[in-house]
Chain A
Amino acid sequence: NAGVTQTPKFRILKIGQSMTLQCTQDMNHNYMYWYRQDPGMGLKLIYYSVGAGITDKGEVPNGYNVSRSTTEDFPLRLELAAPSQTSVYFCASKTGNTGELFFGEGSRLTVL
Chain B
Amino acid sequence: AQTVTQSQPEMSVQEAETVTLSCTYDTSESDYYLFWYKQPPSRQMILVIRQEAYKQQNATENRFSVNFQKAAKSFSLKISDSQLGDAAMYFCAYRRLYTGNQFYFGTGTSLTVIP
Contact = CB atoms under 8 A, between A and B. Distances in A.
B107 interface: yes
A90 to B, nearest CB: 7
- Max chain B CB contacts within 10 Å: which of A31, A50, A58, A101? A101
Interface stretch (B12-20, B37-45, B67-75, B80-88): B37-45
Given A42-B91, A42-B108, A103 B102 contact: no
Contacts of B37: 101, 103
B105 interface: yes
B102 A58 contact: yes
Nearest to B47: A100
A53 interface: no
A103 B44 contact: yes
Interface residues of A, number: 23
Given A48-B101, A106-B43, A99 B106 contact: no
Given A105-B44, A106-B43, A100 B50 contact: yes
Contacts of B45: 90, 92, 101, 103
Contacts of A42: 4, 91, 105-108
A105 B91 CA distance: 16
A88 interface: yes
Nearest to A6: B44
A27 to B, nearest CB: 14
A55 B93 CA distance: 22
- Max chain A CB contacts within 10 Å: which of B4, B33, B91, B102? B102
Interface of A: 31, 33, 35, 40-43, 45, 48, 50, 56, 58-59, 88, 90, 92, 99-101, 103-106
30 contacts: A40-B9, A40-B107, A41-B107, A42-B4, A42-B105, A42-B106, A43-B91, A45-B102, A48-B102, A56-B101, A58-B102, A88-B43, A90-B45, A92-B45, A99-B33, A99-B50, A99-B52, A99-B95, A99-B100, A100-B50, A101-B35, A101-B37, A101-B45, A101-B47, A103-B37, A103-B44, A103-B45, A104-B44, A105-B42, A106-B44
